[in-house]
Amino acid sequence: MDIRAFPSQMPRLSFLAPIYNTSTSILGVSALICTVIAYTVAKMFGFGSSKNDFVVEGKTVVITGGSDGMGRAVALELAEKGANVIVVARTISKLLTAVDEMKAAAGNKFTQKFHHISADLTDPAECERVIAEATAWNSGAAPDVVWCCAGFSRPGFFVDVPIEDHRKQMDTIYWTAANTAHATLRNWLAPVPPSGQMKTPRRHLIFTCSTLAFVPIAGYSPYSPAKAAIRSLSDTLSQEIEMYNGAFTQRHRTDAPAADVKIHTIFPMGILSPGFDNEQKTKPELTKQLEEADKPQTPKDVARISISALERGEYLITTMFVGAIMKGTALGPSPRNSILGDTLLGWLSNVVFLQVIPDLRNKAFNWGKKNGLPKSAPAS
């Protein structure tokens, strides 16, 4: 079509007026939003990927916090997929129930085996014992997958929570994960001479974080910093592990680890677990209001969505769209799952958060204006 004829045709194209009246920036943002939504949904349902990066059939998996909530749901899903599973937590009665449930869920009842180890993972020596016992139980072979799910949240306002309880949350959240990772990686990365190398499949170390590592919510100061520390540990390890994976490629010539290793971290939103019921009891009303956008998921859904993302080979994993937006605004220098998807997500999130950041602060301000100091406020 001759482009000069176009203006004269405009009246006849008047049905397009609403589109022409829309500014290019609105059109651009809409196109971006549509692309990101389509991309995220497609990825969530597994389109565009064929190879499974997380095969667990016949493998041995250690799950900390495997007796309840998300950890238990992960244990059951992996048992169904054919893994041998060791659940670790403190309370033996709950561990025994989880083992019984895994036996019932097992994909192949004759070949799979299940075990439990009771340990308080805030103690690094206990984590060393867990990995040693798991290896002995697995006929001397180190576990193939270690998934850290242990932990719970005790919300409260910073000044109301005694300082020793802040430290305890760091122990329960950060140190259970860091101790487990330390014991695991010391085992996995031990040098093996070329003569001792066998065909060992890739190993996976998985942390369970929270989208609160990305976005602050008032009332979570005992918890969010510990989760943010896990995210930082995960990012640092994902880089450091490349040195060992590089050395592994030379295993026929020189000492190297027995297998290459991949690090992953899951960032759930709320999970309808016993831990969640517990935290609701002490959670400030303001915190509940600020996290209204969160629609908690069942442990089973969180487990399934996380496992699918691991199968696609993702690194930082969110379990629903709002979680992905929260990640997008805070992605910073973390490794991407996909250059295009994560870049578009980052742009979209940063536009969305221009409004979210002042909104959260205004809600907190208006809460104080209306209700005054919280009843739990300490006397000076």
Ligand X SMILES: CCCCCCCCCCCCCCCC(=O)[C@@H](N)CO
Binding site for ligand NDP (CB under 6 A): 64-65, 67-71, 89-91, 94, 120-122, 149-153, 172, 176, 208, 210, 268, 270-271, 273-276, 299
Long-range contacts of 168-172 (CB under 8 A, 24+ apart): 169/222, 169/223, 169/226, 170/225, 170/226, 170/229, 171/122, 172/122, 172/226
Answer yes or no: are the C-beta atoms of 136 and 263 closer than 8 Å.
no
172 contact, one of ligand X, ligand NDP, none, CB 5-8 Å limit per kind: ligand NDP
299 contact, one of ligand NDP, ligand X, none, CB 5-8 Å limit per kind: ligand NDP
In terms of CB distance, is 82 or 124 closer to ligand NDP?
124
State the nearest-atom distance from the C-beta of 300 to ligand X, in Å: 17
Nearest 5°: phi and psi at 56?
-115, -5
Angle made by CA atoms 202, 317, 178, in degrees to the nearest 5? 65
State the nearest-atom distance from the C-beta of 291 to ligand NDP, in Å: 10
State the nearest-atom distance from the C-beta of 330 to ligand NDP, in Å: 15
In terms of CB distance, is 123 or 311 closer to ligand NDP?
123
State the nearest-atom distance from the C-beta of 115 to ligand X, in Å: 27
DSSP string, 108-128: -TTT--EEEEE--TTSHHHHH
State the nearest-atom distance from the C-beta of 376 to ligand X, in Å: 19
Q: Which chain residues interact with ligand X by CB under 6 A? A: 153, 210-212, 215, 217, 269-270, 276, 279, 291, 293-294, 322, 325-326, 352, 356
Rounded Cα distance, 19 and 39, in Å: 24
Helix (H) and strand (E) counts in the chain: 14, 7
33 contact, one of ligand X, ligand NDP, none, CB 5-8 Å limit per kind: none
Q: What Cα–Cα distance (Å) separates residue 222 from each residue in 113, 164, 169, 284, 301?
A: 38, 10, 6, 13, 27
Q: Among residues 43, 227, 262, 327, which one is catalytic?
A: 227
DSSP string, 16-45: GHHHHTS-HHHHHHHHHHHHHHHHHHHHHT
Per the DSSP assignment, residues forming a β-bridge with 132 are: none
Active site annotation includes 174: no
In terms of CB distance, is 80 or 123 closer to ligand NDP?
123
Residue 199, both tokens: 């065909």
State the nearest-atom distance from the C-beta of 294 to ligand NDP, in Å: 8
In terms of CB distance, is 212 or 307 closer to ligand X?
212
Rounded Cα distance, 364 and 286, in Å: 7
215 contact, one of ligand NDP, ligand X, none, CB 5-8 Å limit per kind: ligand X
Measured from the Cβ of residue 282, the count of other Cβ atoms closer than 10 Å reads 15
Q: Among residues 39, 174, 220, 223, which one is catalytic?
A: 223
Helix%, strand%, coil% for the chain, nearest 5: 55, 10, 35
In terms of CB distance, is 208 or 329 closer to ligand NDP?
208
71 contact, one of ligand X, ligand NDP, none, CB 5-8 Å limit per kind: ligand NDP
In terms of CB distance, is 143 or 219 closer to ligand X?
219
Active site annotation includes 223: yes
Active-site residue set? 223, 227
